[in-house]
Homo-oligomer: A and B are copies of this chain.
Amino acid sequence: MLVYGGGSIKKNGIYDKVCSLLKDFTVYELPGIEPNPKIDSVRKGVALCKEHQIDMVLSVGGGSCIDASKNIACGAFYDGDPWDLVIGHSKVTKVLPIAVVLTIAATGSEMDNAAVISNPETNEKLELNAPNLYPTLSICDPTYLFTLPPKQTAAGTVDIMSHVMEQYFQPNNEAFLTDRFSESVLKTCIKYGPIALKTPDDYEARSNLMWASSIALNHLLTVGKGGAWSCHPMEHELSAYYDITHGVGLAIVTPAWMRYVLNDKTLDRFVMFARNVWAVEEPDPRKAALEGIDRTAAFFRELGMPATLKEVGIGPEHFEVMAEEAVRVSGIAKRSFCLLNRDDIVSIFNSCLE
Query: Which A residues contact B (CB, under 8 angstroms)?
Result: 174-177, 180-181, 183-185, 187-188, 191-192, 203-204, 207-208, 211-212, 215, 220, 223-224
Q: How far is the CA of A188 from the CA of B223 in the complex (A)?
A: 14
Q: How far is the CA of A204 from the CA of B183 in the complex (A)?
A: 19
New A-B pairs, 15, CB < 8 Å, besides A174-B207, A176-B192, A211-B224: A176-B188, A176-B191, A177-B184, A177-B208, A177-B211, A177-B215, A180-B183, A180-B184, A180-B187, A181-B181, A181-B184, A183-B184, A184-B184, A207-B224, A211-B223
Chain B residues contacting A203 (CB-CB under 8 Å) are 174
Chain B residues contacting A187 (CB-CB under 8 Å) are 180
Chain B residues contacting A220 (CB-CB under 8 Å) are 220
Q: Indicate the member of A184, A188, A204, A212 with the most B CB atoms within 10 Å.
A: A184
Going nearest first, the 4 A-B pairs with the smallest beta carbon separation are: A180-B184, A177-B188, A174-B204, A176-B208
Q: How far is the CA of A175 from the CA of B185 in the complex (A)?
A: 12
Residue on B nearest A223 in the bound complex, by CB: B211
Q: How far is the CA of A175 from the CA of B223 in the complex (A)?
A: 23
Q: How far is the CA of A223 from the CA of B212 in the complex (A)?
A: 11
Q: Indicate the member of A176, A204, A215, A224 with the most B CB atoms within 10 Å.
A: A176
List 7 A-B residue pairs with CB atoms under 8 Å apart, sorted by A's residue number: A174-B203, A174-B207, A176-B208, A177-B211, A180-B184, A180-B187, A181-B184
Residue on B nearest A180 in the bound complex, by CB: B184
Q: How far is the CA of A286 from the CA of B265 in the complex (A)?
A: 43
Q: How far is the CA of A177 from the CA of B175 in the complex (A)?
A: 19
Q: How far is the CA of A204 from the CA of B176 in the complex (A)?
A: 9
Chain B residues contacting A224 (CB-CB under 8 Å) are 207-208, 211
The answer to whether B174 and A180 have CB atoms under 8 Å apart is no
Residue on B nearest A188 in the bound complex, by CB: B177
Chain B residues contacting A175 (CB-CB under 8 Å) are 208
Q: How far is the CA of A180 from the CA of B181 in the complex (A)?
A: 8
Q: How far is the CA of A187 from the CA of B184 in the complex (A)?
A: 13
